[in-house]
Structure 1
Amino acid sequence: MDTAGRARPWRRLAAAIAATCLAAAAGGAQTPQRGTITGRVVEAASQQPIVAAQVAVAGTTLGTLTSADGRFTIRGVAPGTVTLRALRVGYAEQTVSVTVAAGATANADIAMRAATVNLAPVVTTATGQERRVEVGNAIGQVNAAELVQERPISNVGDLLTARTPGVQVLPGTSTGAGARIRVRGLNSLSLSNDPVYVIDGVRMTATSGSSSISAGGTLPSRTGDLNPEEIESIEVVRGPSAATLYGTDAANGVIVITTKKGRAGRTQWSAYSEQGLVTDKSPYPDAWSTFGKLTATGAAVRNCYLGSAARGLCTIDSVTSFNLFKDDETTPIVPGYRRQYGLQASGGSEAVRFFFSGEYEGEDGRWRMPEVFENQLRARGTSIREEWLRPNALTKLSGRANMAAALTPQLDLNLSVGYVQSEFRLQASDNNTIGLLSNALGGPGIKYNVVGTDTLYGYRSFTPDRMFQSLTTQDVDRVIGSANGNWRPRAWLSVRGNFGLDYTGRRDQALCRFSECVQAFEQDLGFKTDNRARIYQYTSDVNGTASFRPWESVTSKTTVGAQYFKSLFDRNGANGEVLSPGGSTVSQAARLTAEEVSAEARTLGAFVEQTFGIRDRLFVTGAIRTDDNSAFGADFSAVVYPKASISWVLSDEPFMGRPSWLDQLRLRSAWGASGVQPGTTDAARFFVGRTVVQDEGESGGLTFGSVGNSQLKPEYTQEFEAGVDATVWGGRASLELTHYRKSSRDALVQRVLPGSSGTDSTVVFANLGRVRNWGWEALVNVRPLEFRQLAWNVSVNASTNANRIIDLGDVPPIIGTTIDQREGYPLNAYFQRHYTYADANGDGLLSRTEVQVDTARRFLGYSIPRHEVAVTNAFDLFNRRVRLSALVDYKGGHKLYNNTERIRCASRNNCLGLINPSASLSEQARTIALRETQFQSLEGYIEDASFVRLREVAVVLTPPDAWMRRMLRGRSASLQLSARNLGLWTDYTGIDPESNYNLLTDIPQDFQTGAPPRTYTLRVNVGF
């Protein structure tokens, strides 16, 4: 593919942008001498300075942030009367008029009124920061810097969970596990539905399930590398109507992360210490067993199952049960310990500002080798390694340095570098025959069961003293760096350049020394896997913005830009089996294999955006972007993504006669398109080596590894959204309501190749499918009480999503075990044969003749939540010295396959519905439909997974600043007590409705999987 050839038009466009900027600079001597505006921004009521307020000259590209004492300086202002606009989160927008003389300095002080509801007047877009009222899209905002001080936050997933409508977070279920994030439903059948992540202007690697070695349990995600303590804010661009200018891959939304920056003023130090417990209060099921007699012979029999008893084949004498999770001697669950220590510094002058941070974080998971098995190891004379006792743990070191310099009145430079080094130990669990939960949940229902000479204490086949000796680890070194320059050669012209690199060095290892692991699959002979990956993401972004006022009542802003992204994944791996005694390296193995994997993708795009503002209340925007990508088919050149939006501040219109209770009413609408690129090699035709047997013997040969598709193009998603925003009662309440409709065409679908195609590949991707999403989103903030000694704030965010496969092309329905892809139904929908039952003889036991199963499959429901409502209540007491908050989260309208109970009934033979005569008829019926009918049905194990969870509870105590200065010579302090996942209400009969171990698919997987842990945290913050 001649990507370089395709890039020439965009190179010419970039050159034209540069030439325009140089020409504007060259004409600088022809313009009148410019002036300067200085001043101070304060809170109207207290006259206290407001730090980090944005002060800008309306209709130009000139602006700055206030320092720690609220002061600001704006240079290069054209002579005449201008309007200064001040914006700050939590304050109402304020404007003042200033007259500037040529070569002189004008002073303008601004008093801002605090808004009771914490409003965010500025949002981040692909072209920079914009006033919220000018943007026609709904953009979710998360104040990360505030949340980490007040809530139990340990990762980016915690920051996003239930914070903004339309964003769904499925948390990890073990220490170090990643979270899966979806924005406004699912768009693709075959490609990733992950959003794009951008941090300080750099496209970030955010792979879910980022590991080359699976232990069966939850895998890490690269978003988990980020330190929430370094983040200032997160903005969620929810769909293509807002993400057009981010280009190909942005159809699933964009998550824009901004890290903390320095503020002018004296150096301010912040230190924090966090200690916590990680616990597990999940309702792990009992294992059941029976003893009875055969009816025909009277012989004793172990496990007389209910179906057999109902048919008179055996009688049940006794029923036993055992739950090793509730037994102090055998349970592998103990409280884990979390600790975190950090130090940050911020300050500088108006010319140079800095922010530095460093942190250590450590966490031991909630699994531990029970002492009874530790004693068995000692009895065998085994030298115990510490990592065997705690098989799931995480250690992380992180640091950040952000610098900002005003090199000249027209040129600013920002540098940002973040580093993280982590060591992660994964527990073998979940979908793993020799893993912990497979054996703990599959036990026989008695405590002192014995296999061979080993006492298993209720475990199925393998015990922790063997399982925990197999180690799977991941070590990561990661650097994310960016350089951002802003050049303002004219008051009406600015040029922005952003360049960065995200580099991840990843080492995945699995080790089992000779004779140390389970005696199955040759594991006790020893093995070692060592896979080393390098992951690069390069970003280059240049754009120029020209701002004019062609008429007194009209402003115009034109932005032209070009972007280049490149991602590179390069991994080498080695595996050795049958290790020599004492050996721990691949080279000490008898059987060796090696592999190499490399993948590269490049995107080159250009865009132009035009915005008109009319009387500062009607804003109309149009834009277009075109992209070329190395993953496109050779016969497909480039893709074009258009965009249009309108925002109308209706309350500012004279005909509204704004009532006293209405602060602002805005109508908005947007339409736009974006895409998702095919997989790196989906379009490529390539060969693989093959051994050919001929008369003269074996020889080397080639065959198609993939026939490719030269016409392959990106999946193309269009979205329309419309909404209304309102603020009332002096900022005491606000509403954001949005409706969206999103349609994806050219969705990649696998077409099966005929056997005569002469290729090892059995499928080829083609752009055949169409998928549709639509829904509603709402965000309500209310401050019902506002007194000095008591204030109450309520925040409610809610969303609903519907999803349909509109077309699969010429491909027939894709039928799976539990999941089907069918036209007219949701993506990843549950289908199963329906069954009915009736206890005909009234004996309380069902036989297989009393359960009837249909032959046809029917739709059961969605596999991801359709509805979500999150309610946050916060109370401020005693002049805001005590803050109480709680977050309740509801998710519903979906099903979850309880595969844990299915395998316990199907092959572990220890479930309630199979053995216990007191089991309900519904429990018995689903077991019989699974095991004993002619047409098997799993319908009974696909359960309603709706739930309500008490997600967060927190208490924050803040002593008076005067007390801190007098007692500790400090600036501020706070003490936080908090808990996460404290309560759960659900009808789901499995361990937890949020159980999910597999981040590689969009279908939640509850298969011998633990629940998200419960955490308790004590945190101290001190500022100097």
Structure 2
Amino acid sequence: LKQAYGHSEALSVSGGGGQAQYYLSSAFDDKDGVLPQDHARRYSMRGNLTLQPLTNLTLQWNSFVSKNDLAMSPDGNSGESIFFNVYRSPVTSLGAATPENIAKLLTRKTTQTDDRLIVGASATWVPLGWMSHRFTFGYDRAAMSGEVFHPYGFVFQPTGDISELDWRSETVTLDYAASAQAQPTNDFKATFSVGGQLVHTADARVDGYGRGLPGPGKQTLSRAAERFVFSGGQEVKTGGFFLQSLLAWKDRYFLTGGLRVDGSSAFGSSFGLQAYPKLSASYVISDEPFWPATLGTAKLRAAYGFAGRAPGVFDAVRTWTAGAFAGQTAFLPDNLGNPALGPEKSGEMEVGVDAAALDDRVSLTFTYYHRRTVNALFLVPQPPSNGFGAQLENVGELSAAGLEASLDATVLRGSWLTWDLGSTISTNHTKVLSTGGAIFYNFVPGQPAPVWRGAKVTNRDAFADPEYALDAFFGPSVPTVIINPFTTLRLPHGLLLTARGEYQGGAWGQDFPSRLVAQRGPRGPVGCDDVYKIVPWASYTGPGDPNAPAAISQVRALDRARCYKNARSDVWFMPLDFFKLREVTVQTPIPTRFIPRATSAFASLSFHNLWRWTNSEFASFDPELIGSRDNVNQLFSLITDQLPPPATVTFSLKLTF
């Protein structure tokens, strides 16, 4: 790893008059990463224009364009990865992970260029004071081109090879909404809205691979002795319309009802449209005559509504894939298809309160929610005899419940010092209610969705050989609670000090690197350092070793199960609870007399991820050394070969003219 440096510049200008306003901005970033070859360079521009040619017509134009050039070091779970070879040293294809051997990996060059263009235009017409129409057009184009180049003489590919990827995606959105207001009395007001949306997304990709390069130096795909080309693409269309009414009484009682109807080309041919109703109410109780002014303001609210999540583009149709062998081609079974496949549907109830007191020095927002998902999408195994793999089906039923709250308080307010203190908290507890009779290893009725399972050492703290409960449940794979405390100090002369932290708790993860290091040694995982002082890695092969040294009696059962060569592969589960000091920033104003024509100037110094606390049972590198495997329903926290957010120091200067 290395110390990485970078810089960012941004410039913006805005102006205009009553009938025309504009905003233009540009930004440039150039940053190194902590790995040897990591580098990112990003350019972006944004332009917004608002015109009002008529008093009842407003036109808006928004545009954004960016280009991102990346260079990346070999990482991930690959034989060419720096981490892969360090974890497994000396049992790797290169032998020991010495600087000389790692340098051989760095002759590989991995680059990527991302381009983005987003354009939006809208027209709002108010023909009558009580009626409005809004039409919106959106266009989003994303493109990515990447290359992995192994030069001639590369340690794992002596003749060299080159892989290229070109991917393009375009999304067009058309949106229309109209609303009308009616106020038959001074106390009663109603707003009715109707609208619709169409979304068309198409993407295509071309992959090229060539091997056998003519010699050293930079080469192109066309110069390879053998060349292969792969291509594919997909297209999806979705659309829907909505109806909504908002009723207000005395600006105190509010009732909203609505209905959205959606259709998608990803639905099965026999499924049709899907309706999603909603209903919400709010009550500004502090506006009542009986409410004491000393209690501040308060609003009560409740809502219930439905939402859906569509399956993948080709999940509902039967597909085949082309295969080739010995110069012959054929079609092979790919996706079985399901004409009745539809979206999973979630109904969610929310209740909450928004309150402020003591002249708004204390504010509170609280929400409790409960969500129930039916027709959840699960990959259901199919009989092997039909030749197809697992098929996505609407068979599951899930639930989730939790709360979201924020509290802000001005603890001190004086002429020379103001201290604000606050925090947000969110919880999320999931449960599998049903799998429709299908059996899944990580989705089990009554357990979190999903849940980690493995071999649990039941006598973990005993000085004995481990005893196991196989296929035991450890816990959810995602956090059940997230807390973000923050504070702000406003000091004399405009000096500002802010700090923000983050706590995540309740999640479990599997430590993949430590398991591999323990099996291959001889250095061993981080969590086993103290154990090896008693019994070195090479002196003990694991539970059942007939030549175990006498000192093994001083080693706990959990450490015997984890830290040695013959350790089980499913015992490295641990809680991922952590707290990190995410940011500490000091900001100071700069007198404008030192900067001609400036109206304001600020300098700030920020520190990120400077301190960390972890659960006492966490015995690995970092809880955020996480990779995720997302397979329709599954998201597993797996400690892998990806770097966590690094500690950084940032100095910034902001000038306004």
Q: What is the TM-score normalised by the length of structure 1? A: 0.59
Please report how far the alpha carbon of residue 699 of structure 1 lies from its aligned counterpart in structure 2 after TM superposition. Answer: 6.7
Measure the CA separation in 2 of the matches of 1:907 and 1:620. 64
Measure the CA separation in 2 of the matches of 1:688 and 1:659. 71
**Deviations, residues 107-156 of structure 1 (Å, cap 9, x unaligned):** xxxxxxxxxxxxxxxxxxxxxxxxxxxxxxxxxxxxxxxxxxxxxxxxxx
- How many residues matched? 632
Counterpart selection for 2:499 from 886, 892, 895: 886
Corresponding residue for residue 334 of structure 2: 705
Corresponding residue for residue 994 of structure 1: 624
**Deviations, residues 183-203 of structure 1 (Å, cap 9, x unaligned):** xxxxxxxxxxxxxxxxxxxxx
Name the SS of the counterpart of 2:85 in structure 1: helix
**Deviations, residues 13-54 of structure 1 (Å, cap 9, x unaligned):** xxxxxxxxxxxxxxxxxxxxxxxxxxxxxxxxxxxxxxxxxx
Corresponding residue for residue 336 of structure 1: 4
Corresponding residue for residue 779 of structure 1: 406
Decide whether the 8 Å contact of 1:854 with 1:935 is kept in 2: no
Decide whether the 8 Å contact of 1:853 with 1:933 is kept in 2: no
Counterpart selection for 1:900 from 513, 518, 537: 513
Counterpart selection for 2:40 from 377, 380, 394: 394
Decide whether the 8 Å contact of 2:460 with 2:466 is kept in 1: no
Alignment of 1:507-526 (within 5 A): 507-515=145-153, 517=154, 519-520=155-156, 523-526=157-160
Please report how far the alpha carbon of residue 837 of structure 1 lies from its aligned counterpart in structure 2 after TM superposition. Answer: 4.8
Please report how far the alpha carbon of residue 1010 of structure 1 lies from its aligned counterpart in structure 2 after TM superposition. Answer: 3.0
Please say if 1:734 is aligned against 2:363.
yes
Corresponding residue for residue 615 of structure 1: 250
Measure the CA separation in 2 of the matches of 1:626 and 1:352. 37
Alignment of 1:195-274 (within 5 A): none
Corresponding residue for residue 950 of structure 1: 581
Please say if 1:821 is aligned against 2:467.
no
Please say if 1:491 is aligned against 2:129.
yes
Measure the CA separation in 1 of the matches of 2:451 and 2:163. 37
- Seen in structure 2, the aligned counterparts of structure 1 residues 701 and 886 have a Cα distance that, compared at 3 Å, is closer
Decide whether the 8 Å contact of 1:991 with 1:1010 is kept in 2: no
Decide whether the 8 Å contact of 2:63 with 2:119 is kept in 1: yes
One-letter code of the match for 1:1023?
T
Please report how far the alpha carbon of residue 612 of structure 1 lies from its aligned counterpart in structure 2 after TM superposition. Answer: 0.3
Corresponding residue for residue 435 of structure 1: 81
Please say if 1:666 is aligned against 2:311.
no
**Deviations, residues 298-354 of structure 1 (Å, cap 9, x unaligned):** xxxxxxxxxxxxxxxxxxxxxxxxxxxxxxxxxxx2210110011100111011000
Alignment of 1:337-486 (within 5 A): 337-368=5-36, 391-444=37-90, 459=97, 463-486=101-124
- Seen in structure 2, the aligned counterparts of structure 1 residues 531 and 786 have a Cα distance that, compared at 3 Å, is same
Corresponding residue for residue 604 of structure 2: 976
Counterpart selection for 1:835 from 457, 463, 467: 457
Alignment of 1:170-185 (within 5 A): none
Higher strand share: 2
One-letter code of the match for 1:408?
L
- Seen in structure 2, the aligned counterparts of structure 1 residues 402 and 890 have a Cα distance that, compared at 3 Å, is same
Please report how far the alpha carbon of residue 732 of structure 1 lies from its aligned counterpart in structure 2 after TM superposition. Answer: 0.8
Please say if 1:916 is aligned against 2:548.
no
Measure the CA separation in 2 of the matches of 1:876 and 1:1019. 19
Counterpart selection for 2:645 from 1012, 1020, 1023: 1012
Please say if 1:866 is aligned against 2:499.
no
Corresponding residue for residue 875 of structure 1: 489
Farther-moved stretch of structure 1 (852-861 vs 334-343) = 852-861
Corresponding residue for residue 196 of structure 2: 562
Measure the CA separation in 2 of the matches of 1:922 and 1:942. 22
Please report how far the alpha carbon of residue 705 of structure 1 lies from its aligned counterpart in structure 2 after TM superposition. Answer: 2.8
- Seen in structure 2, the aligned counterparts of structure 1 residues 366 and 852 have a Cα distance that, compared at 3 Å, is closer
- Seen in structure 2, the aligned counterparts of structure 1 residues 822 and 958 have a Cα distance that, compared at 3 Å, is same
Q: What is the TM-score normalised by the length of structure 2? A: 0.91
Measure the CA separation in 1 of the matches of 2:555 and 2:104. 34
Counterpart selection for 2:375 from 717, 721, 746: 746
Alignment of 1:547-586 (within 5 A): 547-582=181-216, 584-586=219-221
One-letter code of the match for 1:724?
V
One-letter code of the match for 1:993?
P
Decide whether the 8 Å contact of 2:515 with 2:569 is kept in 1: no
**Deviations, residues 926-982 of structure 1 (Å, cap 9, x unaligned):** 45425889993633x2112111111100001013xxx41575221100000111101
Decide whether the 8 Å contact of 1:573 with 1:596 is kept in 2: yes
One-letter code of the match for 2:534?
P
Name the SS of the counterpart of 1:822 in structure 2: coil
Please report how far the alpha carbon of residue 755 of structure 1 lies from its aligned counterpart in structure 2 after TM superposition. Answer: 2.6
Give the number of the structure with larger relative contact order, counting CA–CA contacts within 8 Å between residues 6 or more apart: 1
Name the SS of the counterpart of 1:906 in structure 2: helix
Coordinate RMSD, CA, aligned: 2.5
Measure the CA separation in 1 of the matches of 2:338 and 2:7. 51
**Deviations, residues 967-1019 of structure 1 (Å, cap 9, x unaligned):** 52211000001111010011322111111244756222312443310110110
Decide whether the 8 Å contact of 2:62 with 2:121 is kept in 1: yes
One-letter code of the match for 1:827?
A
Counterpart selection for 1:851 from 436, 440, 465: 465
- Seen in structure 2, the aligned counterparts of structure 1 residues 413 and 432 have a Cα distance that, compared at 3 Å, is same
Please report how far the alpha carbon of residue 512 of structure 1 lies from its aligned counterpart in structure 2 after TM superposition. Answer: 1.0
Name the SS of the counterpart of 1:753 in structure 2: coil
Structure 2: any 5+ residue segments left out of the alignment? 537-551
Please report how far the alpha carbon of residue 703 of structure 1 lies from its aligned counterpart in structure 2 after TM superposition. Answer: 4.8
Please report how far the alpha carbon of residue 822 of structure 1 lies from its aligned counterpart in structure 2 after TM superposition. Answer: 1.2
**Deviations, residues 713-745 of structure 1 (Å, cap 9, x unaligned):** 001111000001111111111101110001111
Measure the CA separation in 1 of the matches of 2:134 and 2:24. 24
Counterpart selection for 1:925 from 536, 557, 562: 557
Structure 1: any 5+ residue segments left out of the alignment? 1-332, 369-390, 446-450, 841-845
Decide whether the 8 Å contact of 1:835 with 1:851 is kept in 2: no
Please report how far the alpha carbon of residue 435 of structure 1 lies from its aligned counterpart in structure 2 after TM superposition. Answer: 1.1
Measure the CA separation in 2 of the matches of 1:662 and 1:506. 55
Corresponding residue for residue 544 of structure 2: none
Please report how far the alpha carbon of residue 915 of structure 1 lies from its aligned counterpart in structure 2 after TM superposition. Answer: 4.1
Decide whether the 8 Å contact of 2:344 with 2:373 is kept in 1: yes
